[in-house]
Structure 1
């Protein structure tokens, strides 16, 4: 009798495991509607031979990341509207916001992940739906927040491939140089023209794509991760900043709060930079007018001319990104949208000849154009 019961129990467990394994492979897609409107918030200068910086501040939600076709449809619609306004040409440098590629960890998951209202619930669905990937990622995780590390590490190679396919494809489709915001990957590297996730700590990286869809230079690592992400994202100061040649001029990328520090601007200036772009992700609805949070965990922040809470985020970003280095223009571009309970904020701005260009504030998707 005991043998029969043990055999029956084993069969039940095997059936349960098989059922769970089958369930994890199911990825049905739900109904999807998306707002493809975008407004031109800043349009400075007149068309010329030098080209232009074109910032795109997309309005994004978790459902936009369910598959690459959805995300491509929205971003391509924004760029198509910019082209209709005469803002896209062979010398255009398109700039997308920070972490637009990081959210690719949510690609291809179950409907429940996109439908819940709390990020912690979405991450629970991610873990339950990918038990083997998550388990292996936890074994390799580093930093103070191993769970957050594992969530990004578990699909890293897929994310790298998706990132290059999507943003390299958009650059080729519209014939532009494209600064693809950023993506968090473990020790990324380029081999035979393809972006790969490596083994090692996580870095926040920006990649620039040429108008034929190829990679321009190496992934640019963030130098000064902010106070929250530093628990799992490592600083990239061992890899110096570099400048890439584009049809519009020599381009440098400063990720997020890297634009606050004089050292980063000096690194780019020493390489005869002509254009500086700053993809930004500012979490928290209403944070643009809230007191500046600073970056108290970075020793270099103690030398900044502003103290934490002294001014608003808006004032801090406007002041700290200003530089006296001569250049054709600069632009900061912010992520917009809602990712579960966490909203985003920030109004993109540009600079040219010492003049700050902000445009009217709005809550929707925005275009920022600066003729060079």
Structure 2
């Protein structure tokens, strides 16, 4: 019995040492991986009409280990866009879905970012904070994936703080509006100009807009159509609750990824001048494989089921997401940006879509990180019509 107790004590001591070491990020360096900076229509440059800057950051798991590393990575892209002359009084920057979600590993062991799989990383996070995990586990009783749900709940305050501080600073520094991608947070709302969370509330995949003065709009955009992999821990919102927001560049509608595939989302932003979509497409090379059909909710009635397995994923995005559905609204301009990078074993794919005067624009592809600028020059046809 004595040997058992000694072994148990040694095991606990070993765990305590393991759980409390390996957090230093001094040796972790940031790489921007910017491979493309492109102006889609340079001949139409006119800052008075405004412009959309789409930033496709190439994220590494190590970029999420601390607030400083995350800010440094984001600022590298904003600096490059600023140097290219893309920022003006009516600029709005669009960032991708899930950009803030992986802040779930902020201030955790460096080894978490080096895990070969997301499952392994989350297991390491859980084992390093078992007491905190257990305290939040009971709050996830209604979620199918209680482990993922609990991890987001236990890290939600830290995630919200870093996300909020980063994009407040960037929007104020560069004097621009930012649609700051999305982040998974429970009971999130804006109070006194800051993001607050309630771990006891449902988790939503949510996007926020930051202003040139560093303020955050109280109108949040919550995902209405979670896909199958999200539904075990993400709660859907009513698509009728998707807001239209008035900005100097015009009325903005923001859709979170899969929401851009459903007519109900466009009904909510029917009066928008510009529709912006932030997306994340998992799987390396996913855009080139045969389209598997709608994911997470039934296909709308206007979808040709014969397209399933016939179109590629990329072709289906063009036909049934923003490029194919924006014409059902008053919006004449739009953009869709994807998250790219090396995120454990998840894989990423996607290149941006930009729409000007209702027409899908040709864009150069970025091998890794990319920055695209679209000037919203008024067309002759539009001027004559109105």
TM-score by length of 1: 0.92
SS at match of 2:226: coil
2:51 match:
52
Displacement after TM superposition at 1:290 (Å): 1.2
- Does 2:108 match 1:109? yes
Give the distance between the partners of 2:292 and 2:37, measured in 1 at CA: 29
* Paired residue secondary structure (1:298): coil
Please name the residue that 1:39 is paired with. Answer: 36
Over 3 Å counting, the alpha-carbon distance change for 1:295 and 1:228 in structure 2 is farther
- Aligned pairs for 1:149-160 (under 5 A) are 149-160=149-160
Deviations 1:209-233 (A, max 9, x none): 1111111132211010112111211
Checking the alignment, whether the CA contact within 8 Å between 1:208 and 1:216 is kept in structure 2 is yes
The answer for the alignment partner of 2:164 in structure 1 is: 164
Where do 5+ consecutive residues of structure 1 fail to align?
none
Which piece of structure 1 moves more, 362-371 or 39-48? 39-48
1:222·1:235 contact (CA, 8 Å) conserved in 2?
yes
Q: TM-score, normalised by structure 2?
A: 0.88
SS of the residue corresponding to residue 218 of structure 1 reads: coil
- 1:209 aligns with 210
Q: Classify the secondary structure of the residue corresponding to 2:120.
A: helix
Answer yes or no: is the 8 Å Cα contact 1:93–1:179 preserved in 2.
Answer: yes
Of stretches 137-146 and 334-343 in structure 1, the one that deviates more from structure 2 is 137-146
Could you tell me whether the CA contact under 8 Å between 1:224 and 1:258 is conserved in 2? yes
Q: Report the alpha carbon displacement of residue 48 of structure 1 after superposing the two structures with TM.
A: 3.4
Aligned-residue offset at 1:20: 3.3
Q: Please tell me whether the aligned partners of residues 306 and 316 of structure 1 are also in contact (alpha carbons under 8 angstroms).
A: no
CA contact under 8 A between 2:189 and 2:218: conserved in structure 1? Answer: no
**CA RMSD between the two structures:** 2.0
Q: For residues 34 and 21 of structure 1, what CA distance do their matches in structure 2 show?
A: 32
CA distance in 2, matches of 1:178, 1:76: 13
Matched, 1:279 2:278: yes
The equivalent position to 1:331 in structure 2, one of 325, 331, 335, is 335
Counterpart contact for 2:32–2:76, Cα < 8 Å: no
Q: Aligned match of 2:19 in 15, 18, 24? A: 24
- Measured against aligned partners, the alpha-carbon deviations of 1:326-350 in whole angstroms (never above 9, x if no partner) come to 3241000000111112210001011
Residue range with higher mean Cα deviation, 276-285 or 289-298: 289-298
Distance across 2 between alignment mates of 1:28 and 1:327: 48
Give, in angstroms, the shift of residue 260 of structure 1. 1.1
Return the alpha-carbon distance in structure 2 between the equivalents of residues 239 and 159 of structure 1: 27
Deviation track 1:51-94 (CA, whole Å, cap 9, x = no partner) reads 11100000001011111211211221111111111101121100
How many residues are paired up?
A: 364
Q: Which runs of 5+ in 2 are unaligned?
A: 377-386
